[in-house]
Chains A and B, each alone.
Chain A
Amino acid sequence: MAEAAILAAALDQLARGTDPMEAPLQILDDKLAEKRAARRGNRGIKLNVIPMIDVTFFLLVFFVCANKTLDREEFLRTDLSQRGGAVVSPNSLALDEPPLRIELLRIGQQTKIKIIAPMAQPDTFEQLTAIFNSKRYSTENPSGLFPADQPIELAPSQDVPWDDAVAAFNGLVRAGYQQIHFAGPQ
């Protein structure tokens, strides 16, 4: 169809005595413009998701790494300011309260817990928690001996593994005591 139109236009131009190539070229040009317009029209709206995927993966990698770095351990709180001494009372006339001492002794491959006070002696860290929990004074337990801020000095012997020292510390924290410190070097 297009070829016939071009030929007819060329013959028409020739009959008029003008340039026979002008009209066919114009037709071809128009056809090309139409095709381009049609192509543009068919494109429609497309969502370019590649940058979105890139960004999502970067965020994923970032949070996975950050999570691994930050969340892999937890902490037991202690205050070094309380180390090796009694709590300083704001009242200068009041006597300093001596810390309650708990010794951890290494006997063979076992760690023995010794409370330096006339009270039941625990065999395990679970028992240590239970004993000290029962002795903690509170409104629910008015017969308790020690307030929650009772200073407690934990004195592991030289060869006690850090695991057991931390377990004893953890047991006392679980029992609700807030002022626990490790004894200084002996």
Chain B
Amino acid sequence: MKSMLTRGPVKIEAVITPLIDIAMLLVVFFALVSQIGITDFVKLNLPKPSPTAAVAPHNEPRIVINAIANEQGEVSAWRFLNDDYLADPAGIQSLCNAVTASIRANPAAEVHLRADSNVKYTYISPVLDQVGKAATKAIPGHLVKLRLAVQPEHHGG
């Protein structure tokens, strides 16, 4: 009985393993969510030129414009920052205004154009034209970098 009383103070240890688990889980969650938010990818059947001269994306900030098209290659809307803009002159003008604001906020950003391989050029042309105008409108003399998204050759799908 005496030794029980003379054992000394109990050593308190903090169990940090669950804490680390939760911290890592949160880091992974926010990393993934931020990626999804920035890239704003829409599942598309991108052009696949072969052999390609395309390069892998860099870490520059990007403005992603997606063409939402049907199987006949007709674009119904353009998706930009989770907003859909109709593929009519008014919709494209609204898209241009949104792109202008984005370029003004982030002049170093590249514009990534993502369109399905069967989309007709008649739908792409006005957007290319408006994006060029948006850059000039945002910052006079600004050279916007346009990137055309293609599917890599080594990609299976």
Contacts and interface: CB of A to CB of B under 8 A. Distances in A.
A161 B118 CA distance: 5
Contacts of A50: 17
Given A74-B56, A169-B148, A174-B51, A182 B24 contact: no
B28 A79 contact: no
B147 interface: yes
Interface stretch (A63-71, A89-97, A136-144): A63-71
Interface residues of B, number: 59
B11 interface: no
B150 A75 contact: yes
A76 B53 contact: yes
A62 B31 contact: yes
B3 A83 contact: no
Interface in B10-48: 17, 20-21, 24-25, 27-28, 31-32, 35-36, 39, 41, 46-48
B87 interface: no
B129 A159 contact: no
B144 interface: yes
Interface stretch (A8-16, A53-61, A114-122): A53-61
Given A50-B17, A74-B55, A77-B147, 12 more contacts: A29-B2, A30-B3, A62-B28, A66-B35, A71-B56, A74-B151, A74-B152, A76-B53, A78-B146, A79-B146, A81-B143, A184-B128
